[in-house]
Structures are given as C-alpha cells and as structure tokens.
Structure 1
Amino acid sequence: MDPLRSDDPRRLGRFGLLCRIGAGGFGEVFLGQEEPPSGRFAAIKLIRADVAESERLRPRFRSEIEAVDRAGGEGIPELLDADPAAGRPWLATRYVPGPSLQRLVDEAGPLPQDTVLALGHHLAGTLAELHGSGLYHRDMKPSNVLVTRARPWIIDFSLVRLAADPSLTVTADAMGSFQYAAPEQASGLGRAQGPADVFAFAATLLFAATGHPPYSGRNQFDIRLRALTEPPDISGVPEGPLLELITACLRFTDTERPSMDEVRAVLTRGAEPVPVPYPASALRVFERHRDALRALLGPRADRLEREEAPGRERRRGRPRHDPPEVPPAAVGEQWVWPFHDWIRVPPRLCGNVLLTVTASGFLYAMDYRSGKPLRCLDLGAPVRGGMVAADDAVAVGTADGTVHHVRPGADGLAHTRHRFPAPVHAVGWAGDGGSGRLVVAAGRGLRAVDAGTWNRRWAVEDVGAVTGRILPTGTAVVCCTDRGSVRALRTGDGEGLWEVELGAVCPAGPTALGDAVVVAGADGRVEALHRDSGRRLWSASAGGTVHVPMAGRAGVVVLATVEGTVTALDAGDGRARWTARAAAGRGPRALDVLADGSAVCLADEDGIRLLDLADGRERRHWDLPAVSALRPVEGGLVAVGLDGAVRRMSLGGADASATTRAVDLHRIH
C-alpha cells in the first residue's frame, strides 16, 4: 500500500480514495471507501488516460465491467459501481482484505498439499460458475488470486472473453502471462476458452505448492517458446491427489484436459475445509497484512476483519435508506427520484406503476404519475439478464440462479421465485395472459416454464451460453449463443427450427423487425434473417462494433456502435438511410425509439438526444450525462442512470417543471 500521489484523484463517484494498492497494464488500483451510511471499502481501478483515449482499448474496459457484473457468485468480488463513460473510466469492486497468492507464497514459502487442495476447491467452484455463464477468465495466475483466512478470490477481469464477442479482444489470445498460459493461448492462434483456464488453474496450484510456475525463462520470448515446445516443470509437487490433478490439467492438448466442472467434482468429493488450513508461516503473512490495514484505517480495519471471518456468510451491501438529497430538475422533467445505487436496466411500466431494479438487486415500485416510491423488494442478489415485461408483471434474473416474477397489485407486489440449476443470464417472455411462458437461459441451456405455476414445459440443454436478450417472435424463440450462431426454437416444445452460423455475434442479441430478425456480427456486419426459416434477407455494414440492442420501428432498424456512429438501416434492403455521430465519438449507453415512432432517443456522454427517425437530425437534447438506460413511454420517456436517479421526461412544454418528494425510504420496506 502506497500513499496517494499529488496528481491522483481524491474522489471517484461516491468513493473517497485512501491509498494506492496496485497497478497494471491499463491503470492504477486504489483503496476507497463509500460515503456513509454504508461505508463499504472498495478496490477501484482507474484506467490510464492514454488507454481511455484509445478507440480500440476503451471497449475492453466496458467489456470488463460487463464481465464482472455478469460473473457474480462466490469467489468474485461484487461490482459496486462504475463509470465506463468518464474521461478516465473506473470501476469499483468490493475490497478483499488479503494479499495475493503470489505474495503469500513469496513470503511464506510453498504451501502444504491440504492447503493447496482446499484453495483449489474454492477456485474450481468459482471458475466452473464463470464458465457456466459463458465467460472465460484468460489470465488466471497467482497475482490475480487474493487470499484471506476464509477463502481465495479471483480478480482482474480485463482479459475476460465474453465468448460471443471476440471483437473486444484487441490483441492475440496470447495476452496474459506466458508463465501460466496454456500452449494454445501462448501460440496466439486459437481462442483461449475453458481448457486454457483449466491449464492456468493447475499452473496456479503448482506455484502454490512449489513456489515456481510451469514455465520460466530469461524473458517473455524465451518463456513463450518453452510453453510451446517443452513439457511443464512440475518438480516439487508431492505424490498424491494434487500431483494427479495438476498432471491431468496441464496436458498439452486442450481436448485432453478435464473440464472445470470435472475438476470441481474431483475436489468436492471430500468435505469442504472451513477455514482453509493455512500453515503458521502463512498466518504470519496475514497478520502483517492486517497490521498494515490497521495502520492505514485505524479501527475501521476491524470491520473488514469481521466481514471476512472464516465461516461467516458474506452479506451484500445495501443501498442507502435515509431520505436522499433530491437532485435539481432538468427542463422538461416531470419528476426525479434518486436511489443512490447504480441502475443500468431499463425500467418497466405496469399500468400506473413504474418498476425499477438496481444493480445490487433491489426492485422499487413507484407511482408513475408522481414519482413517489411505493414498495421495495430485496431480490437477494445482483441482477443478471435485465428485466422483461411478462404481461401485467415483470421477470428478473439474479446472480444466484433465480428468476423472480413480480406483479404489482392493490395489496403491493406479488412475488414468486424459482431457482435454476445454473446461473441465469437472460430471461424472455413468450405468449400472453394465462398461456404466457418464461424462457430462461441458465448455464448453457434454455428452459421454458409457466409463469403462474413454474411447471417446466421443455428444456434444451446444449444450446450454448445465450448472449444478449431472448427474443420471442410468436411461435418461435430466437437467441444468439457463444458459439457464434443465431438459433430459433419452437415456443411450444423447444424443437429446433433453424440455426444460422455467423462466426461470432455481438453481445446485444437479436432485434425484431416485421418478418425479420436482425442480428449484428462481431465482424461489423448486420444480418436480417427471416424469422420463420432463418433465410438471409439482406446484409449490411454496421460501420463498427454494435454494443447495445438495436431498435426497429416503421420500416427502419437503428443501431449504434462502440466507435460512436448511429445508423438507420432500411428494413427492406439494409441500405443506410442516415448516419449520425454520438457525443465525443463514443458509443451511446442506450438507444430506443419513442413510443410514437417519431424519433430515436439515445443516451451518450452529452446527455439524452432525440434524433428524427426520418433523417437523423437532432430535435431535442437534455443535459443529463449520467443516463445509462431509457424506456420510451406515452408522451416522453423514463431515464435511469449511473447516479441512481430515475427521471420522467416530458416531450411537451406544459409540464416542464419538476415535482419531487423526499419520502423516508424506511417506510416503504
């Protein structure tokens, strides 16, 4: 831990910075503390200015934020806040009060076999859940594992592969540390996926047990050559189950290695050791780390120790519940309400009730006319896969593998939930009324259940990890997968109707446009496919990487790219009707079409802009730069933001004044 430098910021978002705790290729990492009353400690990564200005590298940081948020689960520090659109982007995750595994072994020496197996048990479970979500870490190594007395934690998701979006990999797959890289990753010729993580996992355990990596050399070129031509050095690993596991996972050919699920199964045959059985030399390292925290934080360090005590279940942070300060009104704003918790999911309107869900998993019901909060529902885990309308209700997926069905009523919120056997990363709604079904992407499969009874109608186990949204098109359900394909399944029984290979698809998912389904590929092409047969209707250039869902209306599909272009394509032949630029040449955070179909509404660094759907000319602008998601409504739109504010914006001039209320949120829980 080092003191802040004269040119370091003292504050990022709602976090005050305390000291420097690390640095990497893309930026610096600081220890920060959130404003009262939560007072949570955070590890805050601040991206270097030159990286932030790079049109190639800024999308990688957006990818990292999405990956950390989507990964969730035990063993990965939760995302607390982020601002990917700032001049120097940053993200804040929960601070883990422990040294890296690299430092622990450097100072304490190689660890005993039972300690390494216990650490491996936890790490394998975390990586297996990550792979089940369609993500690969791609830079697993001892310096990216933090250890506490309770368990290890995996950090640094800057090289995570969102499996369906190779466009966000700005260099070869060989990025990362060659000392721990699988041969196919060191070669840079193949895509580093699950087997590469298995190799790096075993290489990390090898270091923990012996103090040396599988490959060493004079420089990175020498190490890389050895990784491609020589067997790994496993000397020093004691005979027994650890040696068998490491040998199996370090095989040269990726197809010969076990999957992470198989590794987890091997390591969970015995009882889970709680706490991890560290030797005395390791405990002395923990004591020195704790002493350093106490010297910096004083009595506040005791809170970190209590939260991380062995056997103690980690509690999620909660948003503030004291009456918040109401931000100033903007012109054309009917009301604004701040929840002081990051919001990036578009809200939903059910009658006169507006439902908004925060990133940490709190769903608020608000009176749409006045903006007054009515109810609050704790979903129990961070949100995954957004919030979809389900007739007169909504469905929300959360990081613990749960789908929540919430219906507003006179007596409050009717809430039912169903657990799925794998992490949920997308939810769709097919049908209406009593015949409605929820289609859930969990792990690498799709399942359809009745919304009212949760009875399973069908399941397809090997679709691949769904990326982006699930699109119902009447008799079919269309989705994109990490295999680079677009698939359509029959709504009634899950029978496959068609599949189109695109090589790789963007993470936004498909968009409906008349009889067509429009999908953007990671190579910058936009394909229109017939919704019933999958037949290609037309193909066009997006002019860059599409990163937010497209919007279709009135014979036009509108798309935005990371590079900052906004383009309207003709639904008939895919030709461009007009092209506009987003603020500062950077991709908008959100895009949609007004309810009356007259204009495109987009949120970028300059605020909310309305572009005429016919010619792309700017019609209106609101100076609200923190907006992260939009929901068009009759006569205007509802905007939510990275600052936690929910705003109802009016297109008319008569109701340009803002009406706000400071309600004690204690009363609505």
Structure 2
Amino acid sequence: MKLAVKIVHAEFARDPEFRGRFRQEVAAARRVSGAFTASVVDADPEADRPWMATLFIPGPTLSDHVKQNGPMPSSQLRRLMAGLAEALRDIHRVGVVHRDLKPSNVLLAEDGPKVIDFGISRPKDSELRTETGKLIGTPPFMAPEQFRRPREVGPAADIFALGSVLVHAATGRGPFDSDSPYVVAYQVVHDEPDLTGVPENLAPLIARCLAKEPEDRPTPDELMRELRSVAASYDTQAFIPAQRTSAEEPPEPQEPPEAGPEPKPLARRRGIRGRAALVAGAVAVLACGVLASVQLIGQDPAPGQDTTAGTAPAAFSAWEAKPAPETGGVPQCAYGAGRVLCAQAGLVYALAPADGTVLWRHSVSEEIPGGPPVVSGGLVQTSANGGRRLEALDPASGKQVWKRSPSGSGSVRYAGGTILLTGADGTVTGVDGASGETRWERRMPGVGSFVSFAGDPLAYATRASDDGSSTRVTAVDPGTGDVRWEARLEGMLRPVAAKGGSLVFLSSDWATGNTDAVVRHTPGTKSTTRVALPVPRQDAIAGVRGNVVYVLATGGSLEAVDLDTRQRIWHLETSVSRGSAPVPDGERVFVTAPDGRLLAVDAGSGRLLGQTPPRLAADTDRVVATLPTPVLVDGHVYAAAPDGTVFAVDARDPAKW
C-alpha cells in the first residue's frame, strides 16, 4: 500500500496557529476521507513534527495537467465541473468548508477528481494581512469575502473557488490574473472576471459561481441541475489524462450535444460507448435490497431467489420505465416469481423483466415500504410501519391473499417460506408465508433480530458481548424455531453472507464502529478465518462471491478480500460517498450511487468499467436515505433511481451503458 505523508516543517511546528490549522485539516480530512479525498490512514497533529498519512492517489494535479496538456476541451471540463460540484456537495454536508480549493489541490485520478489539502494553506499563500491577521487561502482562487470578512467565510467561498478553478482548466489562466497578489485581491473584490476562452455553454454558469456576493452563487446541487440542462448527456465520468502508457488506450468519448432534450430510453442509446473509466457518485446509510449473492447487514434476501448470472436471452434490450411517476421516493426492487417486484410509498408493482411492462399495481396506503417485496410461501410479501402491517399478494395478479397486523413493534425477516417476527420482549413468532398463520412461537431472550440468505436453510441471530470482545451466533430453523447450533466467536461481528456451509461476517472495532476485518466461520469444522483490513473502514457493507468478499465503505473505498489466501486482492477509491451493497457476479461488481447511476467494476482487477447516466429527482437538495441494491438475474442488472425510474441493462457489457 502506497502512502502520502505530510510532515510539518519544524519552523511551523513551533507556531501554535499553524498547528491549530493542521489539527483542523486532519479533523476535516477524516470527516470526508475517501469520498473525494485521499483516505486518512493515520495522523498525529500533536507530535513534535505534526504529520498525516493518507493513501497515495496516482494522477497529476489539475495544475500540472494544464501545464503539460493545455486547456481542457468542453466535454472534459463539464465532467470536471460535475465531479467537483458533487465533491463540494458531500464535503459541505459534513460541515466542512475547504477554503483553499485551487488547481494544485485537485488530483486527476482515473476514477475522477480528488480534492486534497483541507483547512491549511502554505505560508507563501498567506502573506496578505488584514486587521484580523493572516488570510487563509490562495489569492487567485479566494472569494471576495475571504478578503473583506475572513472570519465569516462559508461554503459559498468554495463555489467561487470552483469557478476560478474551472476558468484555469478551460483557459490555462485564472479569471483574475496578475503577478501581484495585492492586485489579484483588488480584482477579486472589485473587477469582473475574465472569461475569455471559456466554452460559451458553460460561461454563464461559471460566471454565477464568480458572483461577488455569496448568496448570488449556486449551491453544488444547483450546479448539478444546471449542468443537466447544459448537456443532455450530463455525466460525471472521470477525466483521464491524455498521456497514457497502456498499450490499450480507450477510445475518446463522444462529444455530447451542448443542449437538447432529456436522454432517450436506454434501449435507444445502447450503441453509445463511453469511457471505461468513471467517477462514481455515494453507504453508510441503510441500503435496502434483495440479492442472492449479497446480503446487506440486518436485511432479508428473497427466499429461493436465484440472482446469479446465467445465460441471457439473445433478444434482450436495455429498458427503463417510470411505473409510478406520481409516487415519491426511490423504488425498492427485487426479483421473484419471474418478475421484477418493486415498492414505493403507497404502492407495490410488478414489471416484466424483458421490457419493463407494468404487469400489475397494488395500493398499500401511504406508508413508506419496509424494503423491496419478497417472495415467501409462493406469494409476494410486503411490510410497512415497522412490521405492524404484513400483506401477501398473488404474484400473477397483485391481489391480496392475506393480511396480518401483528401487535407491538419489532423486526420482520423472511427466511424461506417463513416470516420471522421478533418482538421487543424477545418473543419470536414464525408465520407461514403461504397462509399467514402462526407456525410456532417461543421466547428467545437476547437473540434479537434475524438475518437469512438465499439458498441457505437457516436464519441467524447475533448478539455482541457488552465489551465487544465476542459475538454469540445462533442458527435457527425458521420452519420450526429449533436452534441448530450456537457459537461464540471473537470480535463484534455482523453476518453478511452464507456460502458453502460457512458464514461470512464483517468485524468491527467496539470503540469506533469501524470495520477492521473480514471473518469466515464454518460450523461443521468449527474453524474460523480472520483477514484484517489494511485500513479500518467506516460503516462498511459487503457482497460475497465464492471466497472473495467485496467491501464498500463510507467515502467510496471498495476492496476485494480473498478468504482463502487471506489477502486483499485489490483496492479502489471509487469516490462514491455513499453506495448500495456491492453485487458481484464473478466477473463484475455492481453498485448503485445516490444520483441513480449504476456502476460496474471489474471483479478481478478493480478496474472501473462503466456507468449509466444519473437519474436525479427534481429536488436534488434532498439526501436519498435508502439506496436500492441492484438486482442481478440471468446476465441482466435491474436497478432503480431517485427520479422513480426502474431500468435494466446488460451486465456483460457495462461500456455500452
């Protein structure tokens, strides 16, 4: 693992103010680490020589790239603008203002732009003084308020800096150029920016970023909306430097139209080929989804569902549909009974896998769904309102077969043909999925809620010790409620998959909650394998295929861990600030981003392969709380987006998405 280490010079280490700024930088970098920055591995801001170590990111700075290759063309500039806007959105959401965004603080990695150097400026950048002391920032990329009232700098200052950075990328110079920083400061405060050479379709938007008053500048979300109106094929694909050493250079991306209608359905755009490299757009929230090959912690699989890749019908064409345009929220979808089954607020519906035709709709009141529909007992099962309402539907017609309203609150889990209801008092009830009748009921104090995995006959409950040093795992037969085996394993464990007679867990540190290892336990032999992660990961989730575990964490760190060799195969910083559970098919790994994009990564090498266009809701200022996990069936991927779209693409050729 390569690291980049920043060490403060002894001269500045003696400066309390400089130490304070460095301490702020470390804290800020940790908060946004991995999203659009280099992940912090370790740091000691209190050392005699304060230091911080981050993962090394290969790629030139924007400053170096412009020097070597000249200004960026319009298509690359749009992608850079979109990537940086998304970066600032996520940075600002965690309460951080960068204050020193400039070309030398933007790395052009193959998976997109990375923002570095938080909260600290070099002394040569801070020589201008006001009555309040040193100015923090770099004059050509500072906002007017940073000169006028530096103590009141907010997120809008980063937008101003973004405008200046984009002018530099488009022209090779800044909008306020002079050899004297004092002249630059005067121009920033009083003069209009020089946008000569900036592409005409982007100049008005960049000019808004450079407005003198903070309230007149767009927010990052507004920038992203405006970019979609600038180019119908708006995307955030990564900029790939022109100088490449690989013998296989990917083709240049086709230049999208400067303006036009919304993108056509996928079936009409399958011939458009984009770059293989991409910048991902957002996990660590509850990402609901049902897959055979992956199970999000604490969620349920579709019992009996086989979503591993198979032979795809030759006539399949990509499609997209909006089955419920009047209903808000992101569709939560699964596959079962030969249908794509989805739930949105107040609605459950079934789609034909071949073309997205709506087969039936069923109203379920205005409640928020408790996840995607699940097929159990041959019926389509839905739950809402914390498990206080259960409803089973005929998969052919969508008509109600039975309905049940359990008393009290608790968790609902589906395991094979049984629904497991766990009450707050520890009472577990097994309900027959076909009839809705109670099969069994018993007290299981301390067991908690269950998880189950497609193809595995048991359901599992875990309970960590008070000090987090161990976890008790209980395996239960869902049909009878009988306990099949129990084990106490080292560490605080969360089950993520059942494969080949073994259980796979993520192990977390008790104090921080960060995932620090992948664990496999085989009850038949009572053997346990533990593979430590090189860097602890925040709010990690995982997908498993064979002996390989794919771990995605907050900030976009995606890594593949081989449980047989006990080694990490590869690691990729995807820039996905949040993402769904990763879904592997043996050759590729699929992840859904908060803007509705479906991302594909090579499962063997970690190379980014392709992405679908973003599909944001009209109100992009709202954070998507629940990310739908993509569903993989017979070589097709079914996914959903915040604008209410459900779509399907060929899993075998992400470059054509």
Q: TM-score, normalised by structure 1?
A: 0.44
